[in-house]
Chain A
């Protein structure tokens, strides 16, 4: 079985006239975490989107298990979860319903697993309220529950700790820790550092 690695080679991307990604390169093995840091506008979000195939780089390639992801994007997508700035939740559904649909489109999830995941992120009490009535921090916790449920090897997270209190940030830390312990990989765009101490965490600074 080919080693599960994520390789990014010489990624170049222009947004109009701006040269946003200037030859980004890295390789990530199982159990490794990469923190992508940089000021606003440095291209952190663009990098994450270029990796998962939403943005199209002018040059460079992304390799998953040694193969160019463009050859089989659906398979690559099945192995990753991308969380952008905004939680992908419908305001008129409850947290539980949201998870049922969001996760359910990708994998079968039964009521017990849903409960366990909601419990884990501390959302049990308000899981049946409409998302519209939840705070930003609560919505973020719901997406973390979904992240845990999806159980995929690669996580692409855009500023995962936004809106979270200290408790929530610890939650992110432990979730990432578990993911790495399972042999998964995390690429996280951060402003500062992730609130975890990891032995195999690297840092990539994107210049403005």
Chain B
């Protein structure tokens, strides 16, 4: 270890002098950048975005083939089939919520950014929903029509699937964060997420059923909304704790 010449440290430099005025980014700016980065990355890997949607369509396709092509029978099962397919497609999509960021160290940088990790994860989960849940919600009417759902029920289906997939993204983020870095975690992730997602499935399917039969769907929709709100407040917190545990 050679001593001698080197840049002189000014005597009496008791503090750090930063060049120019450093403008710290506030939490809103940070969240916006986190969201935008995920959106931009997703568009660079467009193929990956299509997978959950294709999976959703395939699951829907299974039922007419395996059960019966009669629209009357399909209409009876439509709420359940739609929601099971949406749940399975969401599970598939969950795998890439944190996977890349955990692998290349960007998640670690979020944890060390000085911002609330909960808040940054909320931004990531929101981006994830925009990329997977929202497209599913927009595709759901097509799936519904193929299962004999009457057109007047379609808006309610879009709305309930949109809210339901948001809740699923939130709930699923916890399991995804807990299984960071675990190889072939798909089955484990499903095992962790499905029991917690059952209320969403129950209320969502019920709301869809009432939309088809023309009944009052306010109750299950409200419950679904309540779950989403609960998810928004608690899930990112739990996911942040899980991420920190995984980074330890």
Contacts and interface: CB of A to CB of B under 8 A. Distances in A.
Interface of A: 1, 3-4, 30-32, 35, 52-56, 74-75, 77-78, 80-82, 84, 86-93, 97, 101-102, 104-108, 113, 151-153, 177-178, 180-184, 193, 196-201, 203
Given A31-B9, A178-B7, A105 B16 contact: no
Interface stretch (B37-45, B141-149, B162-170, B208-216): B37-45
A30 B15 contact: yes
B184 interface: no
Contacts of A1: 14-15
Given A101-B33, A101-B37, A107-B24, A77 B112 contact: yes
A90 B23 contact: no
Contacts of A181: 7-10
A132 to B, nearest CB: 10
B6 interface: yes
B2 A197 contact: yes
A2 B18 CA distance: 17
Interface in B24-58: 24-25, 29-30, 33-34, 36-37, 40-41, 44-45
Contact of B22 (A31, A84, A151, A197): A151
A199 B4 CA distance: 6
B25 A183 contact: no
B104 A104 contact: no
10 contacts: A86-B104, A104-B29, A105-B33, A105-B34, A108-B24, A151-B22, A152-B18, A181-B8, A182-B16, A182-B19
B222 interface: no
B28 to A, nearest CB: 11
Contacts of B116: 74
Q: Which of A82, A106, A113 is packed against the most chain B CB atoms within 10 Å?
A: A106
B211 to A, nearest CB: 40
Contacts of B44: 92-93
B111 to A, nearest CB: 7
B185 interface: no
Contacts of B195: none
B37 to A, nearest CB: 4
B152 interface: no
Contact of B9 (A55, A97, A101, A180): A180
B113 A105 contact: yes
Given A55-B248, A93-B44, A183-B17, A104 B33 contact: yes
B99 interface: no
Nearest to A88: B105
Contact of A106 (B6, B10, B104, B113): B113
A30 B43 CA distance: 44
B115 interface: yes
Contacts of A81: 112
Contacts of B2: 193, 197
Contact of B115 (A74, A92, A93, A201): A74
Given A105-B115, A182-B16, A183-B13, A198 B6 contact: yes
Contacts of A101: 33-34, 36-37
Contacts of A77: 112-114
B104 A91 contact: yes
A87 B106 CA distance: 9
Given A32-B9, A107-B23, 14 more contacts: A1-B15, A4-B14, A30-B16, A35-B1, A77-B112, A88-B108, A90-B37, A105-B30, A105-B34, A107-B24, A152-B18, A182-B13, A193-B2, A199-B9
Given A105-B33, A108-B23, A181-B9, A90 B114 contact: no
